Amino acid sequence: MKIKKVFCAVLAAICLGGCSVTEDNSSDKEKIVVTMMYTDDLPNLEKLVESTYSNIDLQIERNTPATIDGEIERRLRNGHGTDIVTSTLATGDVLNYLADLSADEYISAYQSGIMHKTSIDGKNLFIPLPAQYYGYIYNATLLRENGLSVPTTQAELLHVLETAKEKKIGTDENGAVFSMDGTPALTAVFVLATQIPDFFGLSEGIKWLDDMKNGNASFKDSLEDCLDLPLEMAEKKYMETTQFTSVSNAAPILKKMTDGKLLMAFDNVTMLDDIRKESNYEFDMLPVFSAEGNPAWTVSNPTAFLGINKELTESGNEAHLDACRKILALISTPEGQAAFIQDNGAGYSYLTDYDLEPEIVPDGIEDCIENGYNYNISIPTDFMRYLGNRCNAVICGHKNIDDAFSDIDDYMNNGSEQPATLIGTINHDMIVENYNVRLRETEIGNLISDAVKEITEVDIAVVNGGSIRGSLYKGDVYSYDLDYVCPYPNEIVVLEVNADVIRKMLSNGLSAMIQSTKIPGGRFLNVSGIKYSFIPPTENSPAQLAEVTLPDGSPLDENKTYTIAVTDYMAGRSGYLDNNGDGFTMLNVFSDDTPKAENVKLVRETGHTLHSILEQFMRSHNNEEIASQIEGRITSVNSNG
């Protein structure tokens, strides 16, 4: 890999878009707080912005890649949008909330091709952040030590995977030698990438994309081969299919790769860089190979697009709007791009005058980049997510190809109409932000836990924070809102447990509040029917359970059993391998791969999901405004009590 670091210099006066990118040291000015949501911390970008403009405070709120687009759109719709709007590709209703940037001169700093692809009705509503390269990440050390050649064709790739599986080279506990995280977005990138050399890179593919934009394309008739490779990998058990199910957790690919327990994975250069930092093995990246003998290709996508909240164009917001324009202008300089690349590990900038020296290009895809065999998938994100979702259903055997392709064609050409069914009203905003449902008591966590307890009629209900993905906003709530709040189909089950199991369950829920990824683990438990306190985590130790009581403050009865409602995911329905079940083995009543839990009895399977329970709860309270508040159900205490 070629890596050259760029150090951000203090910017001189650069006139871009009517707002000067100049150093501003006026310390007496009140700081303007500019908010932005992203999937990672961006410390270098924040430092550059705030050192260049001392009166601007850029604040980054983190959210998961899987939910960031939907949550941003819902916040905008409900008047809670961030100042700088992030989208993997702004489509749908998001466009109605973005300011027109066409007159800003920094727009001209970008390559015309990418700006043309993303313009809407001739208007530029956002700028592209640097791109990620995608390809096959492989363990070069294991190939070399076992006499295997680096593949240069798809046939050779499959031969290497077959040989590695037979000889147990780079295999995990499931016998897999290849993996990918199974999120719909990445699945879509993978299946489309396999078609680039033989379709999208040819004139017929270019025509298909034009037809798609006009609503005249057919996925079924033109891209029926896109699942051939992943289905062959699944059939020959080169990869496990559980990660492609929506009820399964993402496989710990990073750890498996760094430990030499996976030979290969499909992902981007950031994953490659993370693996290299953690592993003693040598890794590199390969391009996507043709099934028909055409040249190999790499794939690149902007990590995201940035726009400005249209609300800031209204009278009285001039200073705030100017601050946002200054930030976008600064990001649109080589220094701004370099700061973002340092934070994100992206490998390519769309600026026309960007010095290519800091590009991070793995040796294995260097020839493709130099020869122009790099493809940007310019397909709207909403379609990409739907495509990936349907393909996942085929790969894990839940849907046949013909039906999936028919669904995809219908969505591509007709879109998706969500029924606007009113289910209730809430009296104030209940916001999910900065992973709060994985760190502390929240109003929305209390509401959902109370709903589970009421509908299932149990003593205690617990809801793992990772299953709560979106906010609820003051006013009317519609059924489709719950698709964002509780998107997972895990079933609620009722167990009978004793006090000791409850304490072990809560302790496990606290065990991943700090992780190496800086994203709190989703196992943190929101509760109804009990209260608990904990000693906060430190850099060297996880959080510790301090006390558990009933709501009135009385202790749990050591001689009594309690009925509790949990998800079947926590109770081992998907097993506990590959990061599933979030370590709640003390509740295991389903998995045969892990010892069954002691002092735990399955009382009943409710047939409910969090989505259906919350909907039933809201409908049953539809004659009142639903409220929720912080009550001291979950508190933190210092180590001295």
Task: Work out the number of other CB atoms within 10 angstroms of the CB of residue 379.
Answer: 21
The DSSP bridge partners found for residue 531 are 549
Q: Are residues 74 and 216 in the same domain?
A: no
CATH of the domain at 27: 3.40.190.10
SS3 175: coil
Q: What is the pLDDT of residues 85-139, one digit of tens each?
A: 998 765 667 888 999 999 999 999 998 878 876 777 889 999 999 988 999 999 9
Taking CA atoms, 406 is separated from 194, 195, 209, 411, in Å, by 20, 19, 18, 9
Kindly provide the b/e burial profile for residues 308-346, where b requires at least 16 CB atoms within 10 angstroms of the residue's own CB.
bbbebeeeeeeebbebbbbbbbbbbbbbbbbbbbbbbbb
At 586 the pLDDT is 98
Last-in-domain residue among 375, 392, 414: 414
Judge whether 4 lies within some domain. Answer: no
- Do 571 and 539 belong to one domain? yes
Residues 295 and 309 in one domain: no
* Full domain range(s) for residue 325: 14-128+304-344
Token pair for 144: 């070399």
Check whether residue 568 and residue 472 sit in a common domain.
Answer: yes
Cα gap 590→587, rounded to integer Å: 9
Say how many C-beta atoms besides its own lie within 10 A of residue 553's C-beta: 8
pLDDT score at 121: 81
Low-confidence ranges of the chain (pLDDT < 50): 1-20, 25-28, 358, 641
Residues 87, 182 within the same domain: no
Residues 390, 243 within the same domain: yes
641 within a domain of the structure (yes/no)? no
- The reply to whether 160 and 267 lie within a common domain is yes
State percent of the chain over pLDDT 90.
63
**Three-state SS at 575:** coil
pTM (predicted TM-score): 0.75
Residue 332's pLDDT is what? 97
What's the confidence (pLDDT) of residue 213?
76
C-alpha 489/C-alpha 354 separation (Å) is 45
The confidence score (pLDDT) of residue 518 equals 75
> Tell me, what CATH number does 614's domain have?
3.90.780.10
Question: What gap in Å lies between CA 38 and CA 404, rounded to an integer?
Answer: 31
Token digits of residue 569: 């995911």
Residues 553 and 404 in one domain: no
- The pLDDT score that the predictor gives to residue 392 is 93
Domain count for the chain, please give it. 3
Is 3 domain-assigned?
no
CA 45 remoteness from chain centre: 21
Residue 356 lies in a domain: no
With respect to residue 295, please indicate whether it lies within any of the assigned structural domains. Answer: yes
Residue 350 is assigned to a structural domain of this protein: no
Q: Round to whole Å and give the CA distance between 245 and 394.
A: 10
Instruction: State the CB neighbour count (10 A cutoff) for residue 358.
Output: 19
Are residues 437 and 558 both part of a single domain? Answer: yes
Looking at the structure, tell me whether residues 456 and 373 fall in a common domain.
no
Any domain includes 592: yes
Element (H, E) at 547: strand 544-549
Mean pLDDT of the chain: 88
Distance set, CA 293 to CA 45, 154, 207 (Å): 43, 9, 22
Question: Sheet holding 531-535: strands in order across?
Answer: 544-549, 531-535, 634-636
Cβ–Cβ < 8 Å for 400, 220: no
110: DSSP letter: B
Q: Tell whether 349 is covered by a domain.
A: no
CA proximity to 252, closest of 278, 228, 281: 278
Q: How many CB atoms lie within 10 A of CB 398?
A: 14
In this structure, the answer to whether residues 106 and 147 fall within a common structural domain is no
Q: Are residues 571 and 588 in contact, defined by beta-carbon separation less than 8 angstroms?
A: yes
On whether both 87 and 163 belong to a single domain, the answer is no
